[in-house]
Structure 1
């Protein structure tokens, strides 16, 4: 889970959980702290134990209470390890808190401990980025036999979502989703109207978007306006993350998992680096900083300082996740009385993610923040399947949407509108699924090195070839160290 997704998840969780603070929907005695058992043999036969990294109050209010209405005879218990998740996020966002000798923060290990703890959960809520690592450790139950037995129609899923689920499990399905996330191009309606320029439309290429961005850029006024920006949901914007997003349709990885090598000195990668550097040199993208310059203390005093320029009306167009449309609307509702004032007048819409001329009709990648799986060793598989069947049923989904993945995953779900062109998130083919390397303890340092070297090329301090060479030289030992730590942890 990269830093951008971490920040999105934290913000969305904060916005959703705030109304629930101090009012858990069910008695706290129903909660089971991680690694403690509260289930006797007599109870186990009609129990459902749900493990989650989201706060219990949120999960009960949004999901479990509805399940209990249909199945009141099932004793639903919760293993809440959200405190562990928050601790890991804080350590990643502020590495200085992770003292020497202290165990390296790991999402994979956190989920592994939840799955293998006592009691063993029957259902675990996962981040989609993690599932392939858990599958490789044989910690999750394949769901295909249960789906076949219970006549679950996989073709209800949108084709790109179904393919992603299968790719994550090497051809088998190990988790179900009710929503997903992908990127589109957001644009500020007011800035285009003020400039008298036609706004972007669906199916535009990167070259066409760049031409628009140049026209919209105006750095001479009292408030500089930039024509384009990439998603800066991490609060600072590591251009290396944007570079990888830009490269996704090419279906290439910069990490060789077999030989444990950084591979970016190819002609394709060099052209991608050059393309991104050229975009910045055109002057229509706001300047970037290095990750080490992220000032969390200042952000706590002024939350708006962490928000991307698009949120504040300083950028005409920006790539962004569907989740950000949801967050923007939630923030706009809360704007006023001194809070989020700059968001009050923001009117935006979305069009399809820019495409490469050489790879038409292929947009951004698909990911799911919220995935439901059955761990190996679950004691109540029948109840677990009842839960999966319930949350994926048309009856449930007609009135409920996913907590953090706002795009309906099933074709029989009704698309929301919110006066936004949500079809833009579905119109293009998804970029091919790529295995993430989030389990590497050093992956954030590798991203940081990539961002720093890319920034040097953007600032004309070094050439693109030098930036790539420097990155490979810095990242290779970090990659080797990461894999060594993983092997030692085994």
Structure 2
């Protein structure tokens, strides 16, 4: 059905000629079955409707070669360098499939063709692409389009209608700030110990820590941990103090979910998908969740019809809360399938035809029926799944959080130890939770320890760190040497 419906709509340049063509598609990661998945999702139908085109998939980084590596001494591959090899070698790829951070780097280095001229020439309609996708694409390209993405994985704020009804509190609505959400959370939280119902959780899975909440909460603010040269810490600021103070107080007041109160499955106990999920188990009134949670909640409702142990409930979604300092920004979306044309593509016309095909309305119309954990990027075809009635627009109303600074990405590749500089902050945040430090004292301690760690990295960029900040240099023989 898919190929039959689309085939009749594909009057394109690639099909006008019967000349055999090879379209080489470069992917950021490959191996481990990902090539097969990509073909099933995107290229099989294109090859069927374009019999003269043969698609070759070439990964920049093959995950198979890292599967059996020593993870203690694992060195992350340089993604930009790997992509450049595919794009500028003797047999360059035509299409590049990348994620947000990689796309920004390729745009900055002028390695991609601008798509606007082709879009205008073919009168290709982009007005129907959801703002969180098209605005994010333009944002990375200085208001120009260098890629299109046929699908995306968005998130929203889920809420349990019953908890709000029982508390006599109005349900959440679109456009709330985090302060609005935290105030609602205080009003609906109730109970003690294992019977406690929390008001809000940043993460629906058991195991989230206070530092996880701090980092998630601060992400839209794009607060820096260190300067642009990774030589000096920048955490000892009023903004960071406010962030930590807010999260810690909510934790202490038991408004934010605490994993210590969850009923973890015992050894030899049959796994239940509800046990470690704070929202599905009814332990929290609100949670940030991706589109996949819709499918899971639908399945839970079906299971409840025949299994008395499963307690289904009414729910809905609203937009993710935002910060007043960043109005309208907070769209937590993941795009792993940005499709671009290599500036050195041997077959740019076929490359554009492929991208246009997969981002067009005919493909979106069919694909929208079969996505469980993603949405198609054309909003005309986004509908609630399984005949449900929920606020589906909440998933795509907000503008996305801007991508990580490309210079920071480069630093993380060149100096892998700076990840440890960030994560050592967890120790100091926990000391605030344990009443051992004030937020200000914790930030001062993090600043001091972080500066020491950055100096170690400056002396040797290969330096990495234990969770407590102890430096070591991963040797080639597999035995770590402490600094």
Pick the TM interval, shorter chain: 0.7 to 0.9
Specify which of 271, 281, 289 is matched with residue 252 of structure 2. 281
Offset, 1:141: 3.6
1:11-31 alpha-carbon deviations (Å, 9 max, x no partner): xxxxxxxxxxxxxxxxxxxxx
Specify which of 342, 360, 364 is matched with residue 375 of structure 1. 342
Q: Structure 1 unaligned runs (5+)?
A: 1-42, 92-96, 290-294
Offset, 1:329: 4.5
Partners of 1:266 and 1:415 lie apart in 2 by 44
Offset, 1:46: 0.6
Match of 1:98 in 2: 71
Matched, 1:68 2:47: yes
Q: Identify the range of structure 1 (179-188 vs 474-483) with the bigger mean alpha-carbon deviation.
A: 474-483
Match of 2:185 in 1: 213
Matched, 1:58 2:76: no
CA contact (8 A) 1:239 1:288 kept: no
Partners of 1:407 and 1:351 lie apart in 2 by 16
Distance 1:255 1:305, change over 3 A: farther
Matched, 1:144 2:116: yes
CA contact (8 A) 2:230 2:454 kept: no
Specify which of 287, 294, 297 is matched with residue 318 of structure 1. 287
Match of 1:354 in 2: 321
Specify which of 388, 394, 397 is matched with residue 424 of structure 1. 394
Match of 2:63 in 1: 84
Partners of 1:380 and 1:211 lie apart in 2 by 56
Matched, 1:466 2:445: no
Partners of 1:332 and 1:363 lie apart in 2 by 28
Partners of 2:156 and 2:212 lie apart in 1 by 16
TM-score (norm 1): 0.72
What are the equivalent positions in structure 2 for 1:37-48 lying under 5 Å apart?
46-48=21-23
CA RMSD of aligned residues (A): 4.2
Partners of 1:314 and 1:253 lie apart in 2 by 33
Partners of 2:242 and 2:108 lie apart in 1 by 33
Q: Greater Rg, structure 1 or structure 2?
A: 2
Specify which of 94, 113, 118 is matched with residue 122 of structure 1. 94
1:416-452 alpha-carbon deviations (Å, 9 max, x no partner): 4543212223444555555364551345434422333
CA contact (8 A) 1:183 1:353 kept: yes
Partners of 2:219 and 2:301 lie apart in 1 by 34
Offset, 1:326: 4.5
SS in 2 for 1:130: helix
Matched, 1:410 2:375: no
Distance 1:357 1:77, change over 3 A: closer
Match of 1:448 in 2: 423
CA contact (8 A) 2:384 2:392 kept: yes
Offset, 1:308: 3.9
TM-score (norm 2): 0.73
Partners of 2:47 and 2:454 lie apart in 1 by 46
Match of 1:393 in 2: 360
SS in 1 for 2:100: coil
Partners of 1:138 and 1:428 lie apart in 2 by 28
Aligned residue pairs total: 427
Partners of 2:373 and 2:99 lie apart in 1 by 11
Partners of 2:444 and 2:63 lie apart in 1 by 37
Distance 1:360 1:176, change over 3 A: closer
CA contact (8 A) 1:253 1:434 kept: no
